[in-house]
């Protein structure tokens, strides 16, 4: 193994996880990074497309259909703080990391239509995922109170799978720390599989 600034990189190319059955990917969800008192649900999506769900729209693209999501973990605290994790397979010719970069400007914000709602999107600092490519964005509803932190969303490509993690906390620092923890746990599990 060779260390590359973030995660340990393999000495040779890693095998793809894209062909693993969803039942195996369920066991690779980062439930160990979720606080013990949170309500956690894990779903086998069996390759459901990204249409019809707000996070899937945000994660997969505004029109849906670029990513087939395979498994999902949703976690909610008593204070309505949340973590949402998706593993999916990009359709041929799709580059979701490039797409995420294109919608999250470094300065100012972009307005993204997601189903019936619009979302303001801007670039945000994210977890160190090297050597795996990633993008992190801050998403807010246009009419959201400025004192309420937006939700952070990170897209990462790991061994042929697209990992999407969304984090919201009433304290922006806690939300960012939890995002880092969940993303790192998920990458560690996918890397070790």
Residue 187 located in a structural domain: yes
pLDDT tens for each residue of 47-103: 555 444 555 545 555 445 688 888 999 999 998 899 999 999 988 888 999 988 998
**Total tally of structural domains belonging to the chain:** 1
CB contact burial 106-118 (16+ within 10 A = b; e otherwise): eeebeebebbeee
pLDDT at 146: 79
pLDDT at 12: 46
Residue 34's alpha-carbon distances to 12, 27, 96, 181, in angstroms, are 32, 14, 26, 9
Mean pLDDT of the chain: 84
Taking 50 as the threshold, does the pLDDT of residue 45 lie above it? yes
Residue 1 located in a structural domain: no
The confidence band for 13, taking pLDDT boundaries of 50, 70 and 90, is low
pLDDT at 77: 95
pTM of the model: 0.85
Please compute Rg for the chain using Cα positions.
Answer: 16
Contact 59, 88 (CB under 8 A): yes
Contact 156, 145 (CB under 8 A): no
Residue 90 located in a structural domain: yes
Residue 7 located in a structural domain: no
The CATH number that applies at residue 123 is 3.40.1000
Domain that holds residue 101: 19-192
The confidence band for 162, taking pLDDT boundaries of 50, 70 and 90, is very high
């Amino acid at each position: 193994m060779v260390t590359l600034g973030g995660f340990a990189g393999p000495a040779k190319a890693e095998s793809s996880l894209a062909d693993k059955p969803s039942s195996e990917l369920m066991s690779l969800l980062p439930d160990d990074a979720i606080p013990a008192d949170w309500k956690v649900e894990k779903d086998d999506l069996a390759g459901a497309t990204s249409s019809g769900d707000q996070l899937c729209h945000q994660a997969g693209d505004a029109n849906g259909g670029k990513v087939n999501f395979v498994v999902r973990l949703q976690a909610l605290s008593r204070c309505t703080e949340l973590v949402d994790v998706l593993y999916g397979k990009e359709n041929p010719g799709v580059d979701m990391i490039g797409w995420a970069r294109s919608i999250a400007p470094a300065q100012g914000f972009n307005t993204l239509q997601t189903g019936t709602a619009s979302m303001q999107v801007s670039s945000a600092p994210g977890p160190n995922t090297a050597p795996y490519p990633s993008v992190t964005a801050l998403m807010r509803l246009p009419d959201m109170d400025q004192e309420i932190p937006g939700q952070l969303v990170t897209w990462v490509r790991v061994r042929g799978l697209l990992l999407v993690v969304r984090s919201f906390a009433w304290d922006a620092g806690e939300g960012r720390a939890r995002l880092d923890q969940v993303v790192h746990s998920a990458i560690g599990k996918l890397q070790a599989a």
